[in-house]
A and B are shown apart, each in its own frame.
Chain A
Amino acid sequence: MFEVLSAVLFDYTVRNIALGSAILGVAGGVLGCFAVLRRQSLLGDALAHATLPGICVVFMLTQTRVSLWLLLGAGLSAWLGALAILAVVRGTRIKQDAALGIVLSVFFGAGVVLLTLIQQTGAAGQSGIDRFLFGQAASLIRSDVITMGALAGAALLVVGVFYKEFKLLTFDGPFAASLGFPVRALDVLLTSLIVVAVIVGIQAVGVILMAAMLITPAAAARQWTDRLPAMILISALFGAGSGVAGALVSALGPNLPTGPLIVLIATGVFLLSLLFGASRGLLWSQLRERRNRAAALSGGGA
């Protein structure tokens, strides 16, 4: 036990894994708060799936394994996905839900087609792309972690700078517009930041489950507080905690993809929060209700 623990703390690889997963948890947790509050949780799901063709195209063009370039391809393709969703919803009678479903599945299908093309040309470099499907935190190297840190840091910086404006946009967009804030541009900026959070996370969690990192920690954090700054902080902590715990467990044994473990741990945190959350835990409101009922009964008797 002790050996495992010391290995976890001092091993160079393990440190990379833990650091990378913490970064992804913070980025997903912070931007997830805005996505969840704007009722755009599932946009993150569609955008995460939509990264796959971008990763494949960059790999086919450059044969690179440098994650920065692959992630930029991922981001570009997710951005195109967001654009396609917007164009379909604005330009036709198709509703948001169907547009999300189509972009998600068709972009992913295109990614699968490209993936099989890459397999044909030689499986040697292809292993590098597999890690984007279900996440493989164990494959994170130092340069990956630096890339993730830089991208997440930039995204968090922008959130910090525009915090007041994003809060106003999320709570009351028309009022923000009446004050003269350019709500369209802010909307595009916030969606772009969600794309950044997605590409920060896909190496460790994978494109299919990345959505959970944008939704579950934020929804859990909401149960503990009624203030946005606290919600963002708690969500970042939950995201980072789930990320680190899941990545370390997966690094301990073979055949344990990181993404599913991280998501299962985050879900556990969510369920506990739903029951015991300080501000709106179901348990407390049940107790309160029972006490009120008892009081009403005894009051009726007196």
Chain B
Amino acid sequence: MSAGFVIIVTGILVAVPCAVLGTLLVLRQMAMVGDAISHAVLPGIVLAFFLSGSLGPLAALVGAGAFGLLTAVFIEALRSTGRVKEDSSIGIVFTALFALGAFLISRYAGNVHLDLEHVLYGEIAFAPLNTLVVGGVDLGPRTFWTLGIVTVLALGLVLLLYKELKVSTFDPGLAVALGLAPGVVHYLLMGAVSVTVVGAFDAVGAILVVAFLIAPPATAYLLTERLSYMMVLAVAVGVVSAVAGYYLAYAANVSIAGAMAVAAGALFATAVLASPTHGVLANAARRRRNRRSFARGLLLAGLSRSRRSTEHDLAHHLGWDGERVSTVLRAARSGGFVLQTGNGEVVLTRKGQEAVENLSRALR
């Protein structure tokens, strides 16, 4: 197995569970809770490192993940006191837990195989060197096992609870009425996010994982209307980011995890600009089209009341400046909606009259 292959597969195994769970976070408008959890699992990871001798990788994963779940519980507890708003609760809880983790790492630097840079960018470049050996048998890269388990868990959760997750995301009230216990679903999702960010920690660190959680689902959200498509698209965007980020980092000899985050950001920026349905350019074009037909409708409606008017009358009636009236009038004339008589009066054509009738019918 080449080192490059191991790194790329590791990146993909981070991207896939993050994209699937991140889709739900983005739709539930809980992206910053994901950010909070990814920061706040740090003390759990440090504790797991302390105890790593006595714990297997799976136990460490779950133990550290418990801290993520605790974050969600703390945020909710703080918010429910009524003394602190939700956004402040999130900020207070995760900065405190992250500070605790960073403090523990520096204080016990000698005892823990972990440094602050690892926390920030992860060590995906070392993934090929770190293999899992059980009973003297080399089972391949360790990340394949940890992240493989995480991916199976995340996909399993979403496949098993797809209906429950979907209903509680789009209509929490309905979920309660159907007896689906949205509270349980919420904490299951938070638990899955926690385990995922812990699993991804070695590869990309505590902060860059946020890029994998949020950017691909947000990109997909700009491209589709359906939850199932959105998840699949988010996974695709995440995988492309991981692969492109690897080659980018390889070419420029820079941080691989950082480059993967930048690639995810670039794909998101592209979708923001160029998505055919929700991109900025498409929105602007649609708005311009709508504004034109809207202005024409206003002009025709104004004309239909007064029958015969000059440009000046129209400008006065509509409260527009003369230039706007001329522009809209020119467009209406070339569309065959109005005629301009020799003495400057404007009258509706039959087509124009029909347009006005359609318009007023649509507004009723």
Task: Using A112-B208, A259-B99, A260-B106 as known contacts, say yes or no to A106 and B261 having CB atoms under 8 A apart.
Answer: yes
> Out of B31, B121, B260, which one reaches A101, CB within 8 Å?
B31
Interface flags, B245-289, vs A, CB<8A=1, else 0: 000010011110111111011001000100100111001000000
A16, CB-defined interface residue at 8 Å = no
| Known contacts A112-B261, A263-B96: A208-B207 contact under CB 8 Å | yes
A213 nearest CB neighbor, chain B only: B95
Q: Which of B99, B218, B279, B283 contacts A260 (CB 8 A)?
A: B99
In the complex, the answer to whether B264 meets A117 with C-beta atoms within 8 Å is no
Given known contacts A41-B91, A94-B221, is B262 in contact with A110 (CB within 8 Å)? yes
A264 contacts the other chain (Cβ, under 8 Å)? yes
From residue A14, how far is it (CB to closest CB) to chain B in Å? 20
Question: Which stretch of A61-69, A186-194, A216-224 is in the interface?
Answer: A216-224
Write out, one digit per residue, whether chain A residues 70-111 have a CB within 8 A of any chain B CB (1) or not (0): 000000000000000001100111110111111011101111
Residues of B within 8 A of A223 (CB): 83
> Residues of A contacting B31 with CB < 8 Å?
95, 97-98, 100-101
Q: Cβ of A261 < 8 Å from any Cβ of B?
A: yes
Q: How many A-B residue pairs have CB under 8 A?
A: 210
**In angstroms, how far is the closest chain A Cβ from the Cβ of B255?**
4
- Contact mask for chain A residues 247-259; partner B; CB cutoff 8 A; 1 contact, 0 none: 0000000011101
The number of residues on chain B lying at the interface, defined by a beta carbon within 8 Å of a beta carbon of chain A, is 62
Asked if residues A101 and B87 are in contact (CB atoms below 8 Å), the reply is: no
Please judge, given known A-B contacts A106-B265, A264-B103, whether A212 and B91 are in contact too, CB under 8 Å. yes
Whole-angstrom CA separation of A134 from B120 in the bound complex: 10
Interface residue B102 (Cβ < 8 Å from any Cβ of A)? yes
Q: Is the CB of B88 within 8 A of A215?
A: yes
- CB neighbours of A274 from chain B (8 A): 81, 83-84
Contact, CB under 8 Å: B255 / A113: yes
A36 to B88, CA, bound (A): 7
When the two chains form their complex, are residues A42 and B265 in contact, meaning their CB atoms are under 8 A apart? Answer: no
Is A6 close to B, CB under 8 A? no
- Rounded to whole angstroms, the CA-CA distance of A112 and B263 in the bound complex is 13
Measured between beta carbons, the chain B residues less than 8 angstroms from A208 are: 39, 98, 120, 207
Residues on the A chain within 8 Å of B130, using CB: none
Partner of A42, one of B90, B208, B213, B279: B90
Cα-based distance from A88 to B280 in the complex (angstroms): 9
Instruction: State which of A36, A109, A218 has its C-beta within 8 Å of the C-beta of B257.
Output: A109
Q: Which residues of A contact B218 (CB under 8 A)?
A: 94, 98-99, 102
Q: Does B190 contact A (CB under 8 A)?
A: no
Contact A104:B210 (CB < 8 A) given known A109-B260, A112-B261: yes
Cβ of B7 within 8 Å of any chain A Cβ, yes or no, is: no
Q: How far is the CA of A219 from the CA of B283 in the complex (A)?
A: 39
The B95-139 residues at the A interface (CB cut-off 8 A) are 95-96, 98-100, 102-103, 106-107, 109, 116, 120-121
A152 interface residue, CB < 8 Å from B? no
Please state if A212 and B120 are interface contacts (CB–CB under 8 Å): no
Which of A40, A94, A104, A211 touches B95 (beta carbons < 8 Å)? Answer: A211
A116 at the interface (CB under 8 A from B): yes
Contacts A91-B283, A116-B255 given; does A109 touch B265 at CB 8 Å: yes
Q: Report the nearest A residue to B277, measured CB to CB.
A: A93
Across-interface contacts of B255 in A (CB, < 8 A): 112-113, 115-116
- With A and B bound together, what is the CA distance between A148 and B262 in angstroms? 31
In the complex with contacts A94-B218, A256-B107, A134-B32 CB distance below 8 A: no
Contact B107 A97 (CB under 8 A): no
B88 touches A109 (CB 8 A): no
Are B211 and A109 closer than 8 Å at their CB atoms? Answer: yes
Q: Does A133 sit at the interface, judged by CB under 8 A?
A: yes
- What is the bound-complex CA distance between A88 and B215, given in angstroms? 12
Q: Which residue in B39, B102, B221, B268 is a CB contact (below 8 Å) of A134? A: B102
Contact with A along B228-254 (1 / 0, CB 8 A): 000000000000000000000100111
Q: How far is the CB of B90 from chain A (nearest CB, A)?
A: 6
A275-289 Cβ-contact flags toward B at 8 Å (1 or 0): 001001010000000
Can you list 9 contacts pairing A with B, beta carbon distance less than 8 Å? A49-B207, A98-B218, A105-B211, A113-B252, A113-B259, A116-B255, A120-B253, A134-B116, A257-B102
Question: 10 tightest CB-CB pairs across the interface, nearest first?
Answer: A109-B261, A106-B265, A112-B258, A212-B95, A105-B211, A263-B99, A105-B210, A101-B214, A260-B99, A215-B91
Other than the given A39-B85, A223-B83, A257-B116, 5 more pairs (CB < 8 A) read: A91-B272, A105-B207, A105-B209, A106-B215, A112-B255
Residues of A bordering B, CB below 8 Å: 36, 39-42, 44-45, 49, 87-88, 91-95, 97-102, 104-106, 108-117, 120, 133-134, 208-209, 211-212, 214-216, 218-219, 222-223, 255-257, 259-261, 263-264, 267, 270, 274, 277, 280, 282
Interface residues of B (CB under 8 A from A): 26, 29-32, 34-35, 39, 81, 83-85, 87-88, 90-92, 95-96, 98-100, 102-103, 106-107, 109, 116, 120-121, 207-211, 213-215, 217-218, 221-222, 249, 252-255, 257-262, 264-265, 268, 272, 275, 278-280, 283
